[in-house]
């Protein structure tokens, strides 16, 4: 009996670890009824399709399609106004960074790394109490194939983003904003001025403002 229960639970464990990768929503009309069709593709390649009846009249269709878009547009407009202030914040951050370095010899990123690095490496081992030194992640650039990478500590204890054989400096600006320095999606370090800012969109999912870069931890 124990073996039967194990076999029944084992596939459920696999699906529990399977994360959604993309979601597409379309609309259909059949037999006089309108439907919302949601197709979710998971990282394993598994596809789940769900159909939700909207109604039989055009007013229901308009509300179902236009309503969420209208609300999302209003929400994005508020966020866009805040994004417009990022350049000003960067200047403020640079000034604070310079002042901190001059006074104590450590910069902003030294402080945030010491305070928050462990949060990016997962919980410590329950038996040993040891913190993991690296965690695997997946980067997708411009809708291309997933790139297996990792976030780890370097010899100095600072977090780096490692892709291929190259380490890229990873700055923690806040719990929901990180930056990969001198990175353009390839395994090669680029010019000093280039960097990719990633914002936490959902648990374990970070995106750039233009959605070109998507990082999953």
Average of per-residue pLDDT across 73-77: 87
User: In this model, does residue 134 exceed pLDDT 60?
Assistant: yes
pTM above 0.85, yes or no: no
The predicted-structure confidence for 52-61, as pLDDT tens digits, reads as follows: 999 999 888 8
The predicted pLDDT at position 123 comes to 66
- Cα three-residue angle 134-138-85, rounded to 5 degrees: 95
Average of per-residue pLDDT across 128-153: 90
Supply the mean pLDDT for the chain: 86
The predicted pLDDT at position 124 comes to 67
Confidence of residue 84 (pLDDT cuts 50, 70, 90): confident
Average of per-residue pLDDT across 124-142: 83
User: Can you give the residue ranges of every domain in the chain?
Assistant: 20-79, 86-216
User: In this model, does residue 214 exceed pLDDT 70?
Assistant: yes
The predicted pLDDT at position 139 comes to 97
Determine which of 9-13, 51-55, 136-140, 148-152 has the lowest per-residue pLDDT on average. Answer: 9-13
CA 208 to chain centre: 9
User: In this model, does residue 150 exceed pLDDT 90?
Assistant: yes
Confidence of residue 4 (pLDDT cuts 50, 70, 90): very low
Confidence of residue 10 (pLDDT cuts 50, 70, 90): very low
Determine the Cα–Cα distance for residues 66 and 76; give it in Å rounded to an integer: 15
The predicted pLDDT at position 82 comes to 83
Q: Rounded to 10 degrees, what is the CA torsion of 80, 21, 213, 86?
A: 20
Q: What residues contact 104, with CB distance under 8 A and at least 6 apart?
A: none
Confidence of residue 2 (pLDDT cuts 50, 70, 90): very low
Identify the burial level of 195 via C-beta atoms within 10 angstroms of its C-beta, where 0-12 means exposed, 13-18 middle and 19 or more buried.
middle
Of 146, 199, 194, whose CA–CA distance to 169 is shortest? 194
User: In this model, does residue 196 exceed pLDDT 70?
Assistant: yes
- Cα three-residue angle 188-148-151, rounded to 5 degrees: 75
The predicted pLDDT at position 174 comes to 93
Q: Which two tokens stand for residue 74?
A: 């209003």
Average of per-residue pLDDT across 148-162: 93
Q: What residues contact 206, with CB distance under 8 A and at least 6 apart?
A: 178, 198, 199, 200, 214, 215, 216, 217
């Amino acid at each position: 009996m124990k073996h039967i229960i194990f076999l029944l639970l084992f596939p459920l464990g696999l699906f529990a670890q399977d994360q959604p990768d993309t979601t597409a929503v379309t609309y259909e009309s059949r037999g006089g009824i309108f439907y919302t069709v949601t197709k979710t593709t998971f990282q394993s390649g598994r596809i789940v399709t769900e159909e939700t009846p909207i109604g039989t009249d055009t007013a229901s269709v308009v509300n179902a399609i236009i309503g969420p878009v209208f609300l999302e547009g209003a929400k994005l407009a508020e966020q866009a106004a805040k994004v417009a202030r990022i350049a000003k914040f960067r200047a403020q951050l640079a000034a604070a960074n310079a002042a901190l370095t001059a006074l104590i010899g450590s910069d902003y990123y030294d402080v945030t790394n010491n305070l928050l690095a462990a949060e990016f490496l997962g919980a410590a081992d329950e038996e040993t109490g040891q913190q993991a030194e690296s965690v695997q992640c997946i980067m997708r650039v411009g809708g291309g194939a997933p790139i297996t990478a990792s976030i780890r500590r370097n010899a100095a204890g600072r977090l780096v983003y490692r892709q291929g054989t190259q380490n890229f400096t990873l700055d923690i600006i806040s719990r929901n904003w990180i930056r990969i320095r001198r990175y353009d999606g390839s395994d090669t370090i680029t010019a000093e001025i280039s960097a990719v800012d990633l914002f936490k969109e959902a648990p374990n999912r970070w995106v750039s403002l233009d959605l070109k870069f998507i990082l999953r931890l």
